[in-house]
Chains A and B, each alone.
Chain A
Amino acid sequence: MKRILLLGISIVVSCLLLGGVIGWAAGNTLIVGVTQDVETLDPANHRSRITETTIRNMYDGLVTRTSDMEVVPELAVSWEQVSTTEWIFYLQKDVKWHDGEKFTAEDVKFTIDRLVKEGMINGMTSPRKSLLDPVNGAEVIDTYTVKLTLDAPMPHLLAFLPFQEMVAKHYVEEFGDDYLAENAMGTGPFELVRWDKGTQVIMKRFDDYYGGSPDIPPVGSAQVETLIFKVIPELSSRIAALQAGEVDIITEVSADLMGQIEGDPNLEIVTCNGTRSYVLGMNCVTGEFADKRVRQAMNYAIDMEQIVAALYSGLGEVIPTILSPNAIGYADLDPYGYDPDKAKELLTQAGYSNGLSVVIDAQDSLKNIAEACAQMLREIGIDASTQVWEWSVLKPELLANKRQMWVTSWGNGSMDPQGIFVPKLGTGERGNYTGYSNTTLNLLFALSKITLDSDERLTCFIEGQKIVYDECPMVWGYVTKEIYGKSTRVQGWNPSPDGKLNMHDVSLSG
């Protein structure tokens, strides 16, 4: 009996000791710790950001973005808009797929058609169709020239192209959609080694890489030999893995825990501007908040500066409307600012001198913010409480205008107002939970969609922001910085605001 016990203990101890001898897989391997696994390796058959950004290392797009969010050529060397509904793209020559075949205009046509035409993937339609909505297909002009045809003008087309990743026609036709979903094959700097579902995606350097975008140096093959995206859902575990040297980069660090990484001489924090706007929506259709004065009072009563300072260690910026300061067409207005007296005054004017009762809804991940806001509202005599929901349950309630006030966030990787301003505030749009509706604003949005003059388009959005600033269907909040932790041996990597984890240019020292 004792012997079994001893045997068990000795196995455990020997494993512990042996570990020190064998050590981690070192060498030229870069490991990124992310929060979720990819859903598929088929770039056209998902709607998930982590999938997009992980497999972007194996697939290239027609265009890409620099870390300053500028759209630059990638597989397309140049392009021109030949009419309101036709765009021509001139492609890179001598680009090879991972299987050695040549990349041509046929592949672009195949990829675009697969995205925008119905029933193209196993008889089902790509869930990414609406990202390119007025695009109805592509035509091959010659081997290296392709034309995208549109049903209606789409001035912001380029902003939506970087994450439409090119797949190989011959490959998909030979092996089928189900095969592609597990066996990625692109033109990107890395090729797939293996996808261990739920654990990691392992990639290795593609030596015949054409070099990538000429505008993002260094051009050429990737620097590291092996690249792994490893799934670690728990933040504490992610940080522990970084500290233990198991991973080299981790995503989604919270501001409160940065100190943990900063205190370690082998690690450092990297931040970049985020694209996610945090706001408190208010029901503009029924109840107390249908009154503009009450909504303005809320904007004065909640101290967003303090929330950013306390909950985000100051790593964020208070915004005057919903657009982030880095977005195209951002109007430089002064945020409302904290003024509890003014808030009380506005409430009295609106007939709520005895206060009112508010429930702030939030998802689990945002409940701290809801609770902090409720505390501030209680300070000016409002009976505020919070309720936590599962988002999928809360959303229909919001769309039916059944709730009062809620914390919400909306990411906009495209950095174009079309990706956040229109869907959140246009009448009847699917992200318009407040029920807000303004005729002038809708006209401005309509104009922005048909105008060919890009300055006029921006003016539409700037004027639109002035309207919503005053009417404030939401308590305008803030955009936060994205925080990453990395080991000091990682060189040449900058996070980018659209969340892209481009590992092409990264090298490892030591």
Chain B
Amino acid sequence: MTPAYLVRRVLQTIPVFIGITFMVFLIMYLTPGDPVEIMMGEGSIVSAEEIERLRHELGLDRPMVEQYLSFVGGIFRGNFGRSIIQRASVMKLIGSRLPATFELTIVSIIISVMIAIPIGVLSAVKKYSLLDNIGTVSALVGVSMPTFWLGLLLIIVFSVKFKLLPVTGRISYGHGLEPITNFLLIDAVITGNWAALVDIIRHLLLPAITLGCHMVALTMRITRSSMLEVLSQDYIRTAWSKGLGRKVVILKHALRNALVPTVTVVTLNIGVLLGGNMIVESVFGWPGLGRLVINAIYTRDYPLVQGAVLVYAFTYVVMNFIADLLYTVLNPKVRF
């Protein structure tokens, strides 16, 4: 990973971002429907002049190029504008939702990895065993289920039938936890509020499992196959023949190498999960970015959609970059 490569990587993202600003602006511009009309709602009294005045105050009556330039200009000044419907700064709105989204995504990945890698490894070591077969089938079911269906089934089983886990929200009220970072898990640990911590984890479990289901399947398959490949390599055979212990061979020698593709896939999928969790958020009433964006699309809240897409794109690019980095760290043979 030479400095020159780093610079090139960063430079490459510039046209990508310019393209994205243009694309998101163009799509929103072409979309029929008027945010002001939507905001004013149905069933109440609004005059035509009032609509015109609001459109003017929001700059929606200006020519397309001018609107685009002021949008891009705003980004350079670090200003994404004001939401049309909620009338607050877009940065602030997105900022208030990001912690919840990240928290859910990260926990979901941790859970997935904790389930997927051990099963993947075990099923590679004991190929075609009962565990391997169960793993294969459940991985298939995992990738084949519509997310919202899975979410509702989990709610029925765990919340309604057995009343074990809460249905919605991030935390029950009454633990006296005041948000500091808005990453509630961190807040609970900082303040040492253990009851709140348990409550937060309980709220996280169902959405995180729902969200992570595809990820578990994917990670499990990849770990299994790369593990199988590594186990057939010469140096592992050498290790066996040297009479090293089973655990040492599998964990120290094989797993380390087998993890390379797994790590890449996991990192790349963080971006995908972030963009795809709006359905989970709806089902579990999770206050994340996805729901905010969907509402913004329906209400034609242009500044909010634009801001959110840029945030998503940025996360994706960063994750991609981290994936490359990890790849070189884990596998010194790879050089860019």
Contact = CB atoms under 8 A, between A and B. Distances in A.
Q: A contacts B directly in the complex (CB < 8 Å)?
A: yes
Interface of A: 1-2, 4-5, 7-8, 11-12, 15-16, 18-20, 22, 24-25, 27, 29, 31, 37, 39-40, 42, 45-49, 118, 122-125, 127, 129-131, 133, 178, 181-182, 194, 196-200, 202, 226, 228, 230-234, 236-237, 240-241, 243-246, 276, 390-393, 395-396, 409-413, 418-420, 423, 430-431
B152 interface: yes
Given A200-B173, A413-B43, A392 B298 contact: yes
A25 B175 contact: yes
B262 to A, nearest CB: 14
A168 B45 CA distance: 26
Contacts of A7: 114
Contact of A240 (B160, B170, B173, B195): B160
Interface residues of B, number: 74
Interface string B176-205: 001100000000000000010011011001
Given A22-B198, A198-B287, A430-B47, 18 more contacts: A12-B205, A15-B198, A19-B166, A40-B88, A46-B87, A47-B41, A199-B170, A228-B173, A232-B167, A232-B285, A234-B283, A246-B168, A246-B169, A390-B33, A392-B298, A392-B300, A395-B37, A430-B46
Contact of A130 (B47, B96, B97, B169): B47
Given A197-B96, A231-B285, A237 B298 contact: no
A114 B227 CA distance: 68
A233 B282 contact: yes
B57 interface: yes
Contacts of B42: 409-411, 431
A230 B169 contact: yes
Most buried by B among A27, A390, A392, A423: A392
B172 to A, nearest CB: 5
B268 interface: no
15 contacts: A2-B118, A8-B114, A18-B202, A19-B164, A24-B166, A46-B87, A48-B41, A202-B173, A233-B282, A240-B160, A246-B167, A276-B43, A419-B43, A431-B42, A431-B43
A196 B43 contact: no
B39 interface: yes
A231 B41 CA distance: 20
A25 B169 CA distance: 13
A420 to B, nearest CB: 7
A127 B55 CA distance: 11
A244 B167 CA distance: 8
Interface string B85-102: 111100001001100100
A393 B33 contact: yes
A236 B155 contact: yes
Contacts of A236: 152, 155
B34 interface: yes
B22 to A, nearest CB: 23
Contact of A392 (B37, B58, B175, B195): B37
A29 B173 contact: yes
Contact of A4 (B38, B114, B167, B284): B114
Given A1-B121, A131-B45, A197 B33 contact: no
Nearest to B299: A392
A45 B87 contact: yes
B169 to A, nearest CB: 6
A204 B78 CA distance: 37
Contact of B173 (A25, A37, A245): A25
Interface in B137-176: 152, 155-156, 159-160, 163-170, 172-175
Nearest to B40: A47
A40 B93 CA distance: 11
Nearest to B179: A196
A16 B166 contact: no
B168 A237 contact: yes
Given A46-B87, A237-B168, A241-B168, A410 B43 contact: yes
Contact of A39 (B86, B164, B199): B86
